Chain A
Amino acid sequence: MSVFVNKHSKVIFQGFTGEHATFHAQDAIKIGTQVVGGVTPGKGGTRHLGLPVFDTVATAVRETGADVSGIFVPPPFAVDAVMEAIDAGIKVVVVIADGVPVQDMVRLQRYREGKDCIVIGPNTPGIITPGECKVGIMPASIYKKGRIGVVSRSGTLNYEATEQMSALGLGQSSSVGIGGDPVNGTDFVTVLRAFEADPDTDVIVMIGEIGGPQEVAAAQWAKENTTKPIVGFVAGVSSPPGRRMGHAGAIIAGSSDTANAKMDAMEALGLYVARNPAHIGQAVMRALKDNGITY
Chain B
Amino acid sequence: MNIHEYQAKELLKAYGVPVPQGGVAYSDKQAANVAEDISGERWVVKAQIHAGGRGKAGGVRLASSIAEVRQAADQMLGRRLVTHQTGPEGSLVHRIWIEQASEIVKEYYLGFVIDRGTQRITMIASSEGGMDIEEVNRINPEKVIKETVDPAIGLRDFQCRKVAAAIGLRGKLMPQAVKIMKAMYRCIRDKDALLAEINPLAVNGSDQLLALDAKLTFDDNALYRQHQINEMRDFDEEDPKEVEASGHGLNYIALDGSIGCIVNGAGLAMATMDAITLHGGRPANFLDVGGGASPEKVTNACRIVLQDPNVKAILVNIFAGINRCDWIAQGLIQAMESLNITAPMVVRLAGTNVEAGRQLLAQSGLSFITAQNLDDAAGKAVAAAQS
| A-to-B contact residues, CB < 8 Å | 20, 75-76, 99-107, 109-110, 125, 137-139, 142, 152-160, 163-164, 167, 180, 182-183, 207, 209-214, 217, 235-240, 242-250, 254-255, 259, 275-279
**B265 pairs with A155, CB closer than 8 A:** yes
A-B contact pairs, 30 of them (CB 8 A): A101-B221, A103-B189, A110-B151, A110-B152, A139-B320, A154-B267, A155-B265, A160-B268, A160-B319, A180-B267, A183-B119, A207-B267, A209-B267, A209-B270, A213-B116, A235-B267, A238-B270, A238-B283, A239-B270, A239-B273, A240-B253, A240-B255, A245-B253, A245-B269, A248-B219, A250-B266, A250-B270, A277-B274, A278-B373, A279-B375
CA distance A124 to B55 in the complex (A): 41
B117:A217 contact, CB within 8 angstroms: yes
The reply to whether the CB of B337 lies closer than 8 angstroms to some CB of chain A is no
Q: Is the CB of A103 within 8 A of B267?
A: no
Min CB gap A34→B, angstroms: 22
Pairwise interchain contact B274-A237, C-beta atoms closer than 8 A: yes
Q: Which of A154, A156, A238 contacts B277 (CB 8 A)?
A: A238
Query: Which residues of chain B from 118 to 138 have a CB within 8 Å of any chain A CB?
Result: 119-121, 134, 138
Asked whether A101 and B192 contact (CB < 8 A) given A156-B264, A245-B266, the answer is yes
Residues of B with C-beta under 8 A to A248: 219-221
- Once bound together, how far apart are the Cα atoms of A239 and B288, in whole Å? 14
**Residue B271 at the chain A interface, CB threshold 8 Å:** yes
Q: Which of A180, A207, A238 sits near B266, CB closer than 8 Å?
A: A180
Q: Are B269 and A246 in contact (CB under 8 A)?
A: yes
B188 to chain A, nearest CB (A): 9
In the assembled complex, the CB of A26 is this many whole angstroms from the nearest CB of chain B, namely: 13
Q: Is the CB of A238 within 8 A of B220?
A: no
Complex: A125 Cα to B378 Cα, angstroms:
25
Further 19 A-B residue pairs, CB within 8 A, beyond A75-B221, A159-B319, A243-B253: A102-B192, A102-B219, A103-B114, A103-B189, A154-B270, A156-B264, A156-B267, A157-B267, A160-B374, A163-B350, A183-B119, A209-B270, A236-B273, A237-B277, A239-B286, A246-B267, A276-B375, A277-B272, A278-B378
Is B85 an interface position by the 8 A CB rule? yes
Number of residue pairs A-B, CB distance < 8 angstroms: 174
* Complex contact B351–A142 (CB within 8 A): yes
> Could you mark each residue 233-271 of chain B with 1 if its beta carbon is under 8 Å from any beta carbon of chain A, else 0?
000000000000000000101010000000111111111
- Closest B residue to A236 using CB positions: B270
Is B219 in contact with A246, judged by CB distance below 8 angstroms? no
Q: How far is the CA of A106 from the CA of B154 in the complex (A)?
A: 12
- Known contacts A103-B222, A107-B151; decide if A183 and B114 are in contact (CB<8 Å): yes
CA distance A250 to B189 in the complex (A): 22
What's the minimum C-beta distance from B221 to chain A, rounded to whole angstroms? 5
- Return B365 CB to nearest CB of chain A, in Å: 29
Give every chain A residue within 8 A of B120 (Cβ-Cβ): 106, 109-110
Q: Which B residues, 288 to 307, have Cβ-Cβ distances below 8 Å to chain A? A: 288, 291
Tell me which residues across on chain B come within 8 A of A157, comparing CB atoms. 265, 267-268, 271
B interface SS class: mixed
Residue ranges of B at the interface with A (Cβ–Cβ < 8 Å): 85, 114, 116-117, 119-121, 134, 138, 150-152, 189, 192, 194, 219-222, 224-225, 251, 253, 255, 263-278, 282-283, 286, 288, 291, 319-322, 350-352, 373-375, 378
Instruction: Give the complex CA separation of A137 and B321 in angstroms.
Output: 7
A163-B376 Cα distance, complex, nearest whole Å: 14
The 5 closest A-B pairs by CB, nearest first: A154-B267, A246-B266, A156-B265, A157-B267, A278-B375
- How far is the CB of A143 from the nearest CB of chain B, in Å? 11
Residues of chain B with a CB closer than 8 A to A167's CB: 373
A247: nearest chain-B partner, CB-CB: B266
In the complex, the chain A residue whose C-beta lies closest to that of B374 is A278
A residues within 8 A CB of B319? 156, 159-160, 163
Given A160-B268, A213-B116, verify A110-B321 contact (CB < 8 Å): no
For B286, give the chain A residue with the smallest CB separation: A245
Cα-based distance from A151 to B283 in the complex (angstroms): 27
Q: How far is the CB of A57 from chain B (nearest CB, A)?
A: 22
Q: How far is the CB of B84 from chain A (nearest CB, A)?
A: 11
Closest chain B residue to A214, Cβ basis: B116
Chain A residues positioned under 8 Å from B150 (CB to CB): 110
Complex Cα distance A99/B225, Å?
Answer: 12
Nearest CB on B from A262, distance (A): 13
Q: Which residues of A contact B119 (CB under 8 A)?
A: 105-106, 109, 183
CB-defined contacts of B134 to chain A, threshold 8 Å: 254-255
Complex Cα–Cα for A62 and B129 (A): 58
Q: Give bound CA distance, A96 to B176, whole Å.
A: 44
Cβ contact within 8 Å between A101 and B222: yes
Q: How far is the CB of B76 from chain A (nearest CB, A)?
A: 23
Cβ–Cβ contact B352 & A139, under 8 A: yes
CB-CB under 8 A from B267, the residues of chain A are: 152-158, 180, 207, 209, 235, 246-247, 250
- A151 to B: closest C-beta gap in Å: 13
B151 touches A235 (CB 8 A): no
Residues of B within 8 A of A105 (CB): 119
| Distance of A182 Cα from B373 Cα, bound (Å) | 30
Q: Which residues of B contact A159 (CB under 8 A)?
A: 268, 319, 321, 350-351
Q: Chain A nearest CB: distance from B62 CB in Å? A: 28
Q: CA separation between A20 and B224, bound complex, in Å?
A: 22
Do A246 and B251 touch (CB < 8 A)?
Answer: yes
